[in-house]
Structure 1
Amino acid sequence: MSVLVVGAGGHAKVVIATLRASGAEIAGMLDDAPEASPVLGVPVVGRTEVLSSHAGQAVIAIGSNRVRQRIAGEYPSVAWATVVHPAAVVHESVALGPGTVVFAGAVLQPDTVVGRHAIINTSATVDHDGDIGDFVHVAPGCNLSGGVTLGEGVFLGVGGAALPGATVGAWTVVGAGGVVVRDLPANVTAVGIPARPLARP
């Protein structure tokens, strides 16, 4: 398959490497920044507006959950590619939504469901029956126990973890190394062990 990569920043490097490892052809990159330059030899061939007439597949290679949500919403007719590194372990019962990327060393265990445009980053693990929402970013080295639910747009920082059955509400951010031992509400930032919401100013 030939895939157009949306975004020309640091996250795009890992997406491009994953595409190449999976045997995909890269059609070029799109970026709205005038200073955008080639990444790993892949040229910038236009702005994101090219998606409105793009007939092939594309993937959003941008780490920001909100930006991925915006771009996906602006171009709903695009054939969004689901990209899995061959060094990831994804059980055959796992369901991956369009636009989702799974990086090297990640492990997704049986009956996990991952929504649209999610990122399962390098060496992250999601155990059985995980429910990972749209536009979620599970950062490198995270470990989710069985039956964990991450609502839409959740960001789980580097090295974070969640205990069995825990739920994190939509658009909540869990800081690096945070451990979710009980349910967290939506739209908060939580840090620490156990992860607790920061007091609002």
Structure 2
Amino acid sequence: MSGILIVGAGGHAKVVLSTLLASNYHVEGCLDEQPSRWGTSVLGYPVLGGLELLERPDRRAVLAIGNNQARRTLSERYPAVEWVSAVHPQAVVDASVVIGVGSVVFAGAVVQADTTIGNHVIVNTAATVDHDCVLEDYVHVAPGTHLAGQVRLEQGAFLGIGSVATPGITVGEWTTVGAGGVVIRDLLPHSVAVGVPARQRQVKNNDDNHNKA
């Protein structure tokens, strides 16, 4: 079986790569849409070329892209790829947690009992997700973010670095919470919320989802 391809060759790819290596996966190299990166390397692993390499049979890959909308677009563009999930050995994930395809849980993260993580989700470095949470597809929980119990993050939601969600909160689909925001009430879909407590400042267009690692 061929090694895993990492889709993306930026900073986020470094963290995905280190997670895969720590989990004893065989990595073949990286792919990137920017020709200027072809022939370079990420942590010593080659950037092999563009995404057309995903069209070969029996491809296994991880999307190392922080932008939630971009991960959705690429996962739908290449449905035949076997999308691999990875949990860093220095993360703590309860045995009852369900993790979908293509999702990553980075070092220092904690995911507690009966939480469900969807497809192509990022639980970033040192984030904590308490009991009975639901993280739907394409969610990104940034470094140092803390979710209390029974929080639901709907599809494509992004919680910025160091943000907090209190028990039972729902964050609507494709909503962004700014860095350090404290969410104490439900947030509508397709919106941006910032501050302490987090307040909705605007409603986004459906494709306005430029969150990053």
TM-score computed with the length of structure 1 as normaliser: 0.97
Extract structure 1 runs of 4+ deviating beyond 2 A: none
SS of the aligned residue for 1:159 comes to coil
- Partner Cα distance (2:52, 2:116) in 1: 30
Letter in 2 for 1:186: P
Q: Using the alignment, how far apart are the partners of 2:60 and 2:75 within structure 1?
A: 13
Alignment of 1:16-165 (within 5 A): 16-36=17-37, 37-165=40-168
- Evaluate the alpha carbon distance shift between residue 199 and residue 188 of structure 1 in structure 2; reply closer, same or farther with a 3 A threshold: closer
Equivalent in the alignment of 2:198: 195
Alignment of 1:174-193 (within 5 A): 174-193=177-196
SS in structure 2 at match of 1:18? helix
Deviation at 1:54, TM superposition (A): 4.0
C-alpha RMSD of matched pairs (Å): 1.3
* Aligned residue number for residue 12 of structure 2: 11
CA distance, structure 1, for counterparts of residue 98 and residue 59 of structure 2: 22
- Superposition deviation, residue 134 in structure 1: 0.4
Please state whether the residue corresponding to 2:4 is helix, strand or coil: strand
Question: Per-residue deviation at 1:52?
Answer: 1.4
CA distance in 2, matches of 1:130, 1:101: 16
Unaligned runs of 5+ in 2: 205-213
Secondary structure of the equivalent of 2:187?
Answer: coil
The TM-score with structure 2 as length reference comes to: 0.92
Q: Could you tell me the percent identity over the aligned residues?
A: 55
Identify unmatched segments of 5+ residues in structure 1. none
